[in-house]
């Protein structure tokens, strides 16, 4: 599968709607806050329209949104692509029978899970999250989709922290991001 480049997306304007929050959630981390984008109707609509345009020919059966900001982008994308939406959540947050995967973070470890009946064998699945950092959360999420028999057709992000090399963990998937930060 192709691992698409970050440049030339025509979406560099998105940077104007992302603010840096230093030392959040812990000292030394610069959090990329997307709430200014979400509070701005025209740019927010333009991002969703851009996602739809990017994925309209992927024949997606389900969009999987990664907790929690992946829900913000994944749900309207699924609606516009006329397909189902599936949440992947942190451990203990889903009410029915689940499968789970654990992974390492920059500052610890975590577990995500998905309902066992959320993806049917052979379904084409697009995974959506707001930000690609080290790739651990998305790699675990792809593993869950494949464990249920789904085919990952791509992983889409609004922001990529390229200096953390998350693409390396996702090299076998088609990766798309609107904007990338090449250095801290």
Number of domains in the chain: 1
Catalytic residue among 12, 19, 45, 106: 106
Supply the pLDDT for residue 5.
39
Asked whether residue 125 is domain-assigned, the answer is yes
> Could you read off the pLDDT of 72-116 as tens digits, one per residue?
999 999 999 999 999 999 999 999 999 999 998 766 789 999 999
Asked whether residue 64 is domain-assigned, the answer is yes
pTM (two decimals): 0.92
Asked whether residue 58 is domain-assigned, the answer is yes
Task: State yes or no: is 69 an active-site residue.
Answer: yes
Across the range 55-66, mean pLDDT stands at 98
Asked whether residue 161 is domain-assigned, the answer is yes
Q: What is the CATH number of the domain that holds 20?
A: 3.40.50.2020
Euclidean distance between CA atoms 139 and 145, whole angstroms: 10
Asked whether residue 6 is domain-assigned, the answer is no
Catalytic residue among 69, 89, 100, 167: 69
The boundaries of the domain holding residue 158 are 12-181
- 63 closest CA partner among 176, 137, 153, 148: 153
Asked whether residue 4 is domain-assigned, the answer is no
**Residue with token string 């929050």:** 21
- Tokens at 51, concatenated: 């996602």
Asked whether residue 3 is domain-assigned, the answer is no
Q: Is the pLDDT of residue 183 over 90?
A: no
């Amino acid at each position: 599968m192709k691992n698409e480049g970050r440049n030339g997306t025509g979406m560099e304007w998105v940077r104007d709607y992302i603010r840096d929050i230093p030392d959040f959630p812990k000292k030394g981390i610069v959090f990329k806050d997307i709430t200014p984008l979400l509070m701005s109707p025209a740019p927010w609509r333009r991002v969703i329209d851009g996602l739809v345009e990017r994925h309209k020919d992927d024949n997606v059966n389900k969009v999987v949104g990664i907790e929690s900001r992946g829900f913000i982008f994944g749900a309207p994308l699924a609606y516009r692509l006329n397909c189902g939406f599936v949440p992947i959540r942190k451990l203990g947050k889903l009410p029915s029978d689940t499968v789970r995967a654990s992974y390492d973070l920059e500052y610890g470890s975590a577990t995500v899970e998905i309902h066992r009946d959320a993806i049917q064998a052979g379904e084409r699945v697009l995974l959506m999250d707001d930000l690609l950092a080290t790739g651990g959360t998305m790699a675990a999420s792809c593993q869950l989709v494949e464990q249920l028999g789904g085919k990952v057709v791509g992983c889409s992000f609004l922001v990529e922290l390229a200096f953390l090399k998350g693409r390396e963990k996702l090299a076998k998937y088609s990766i798309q991001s609107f904007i990338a930060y090449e250095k801290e």
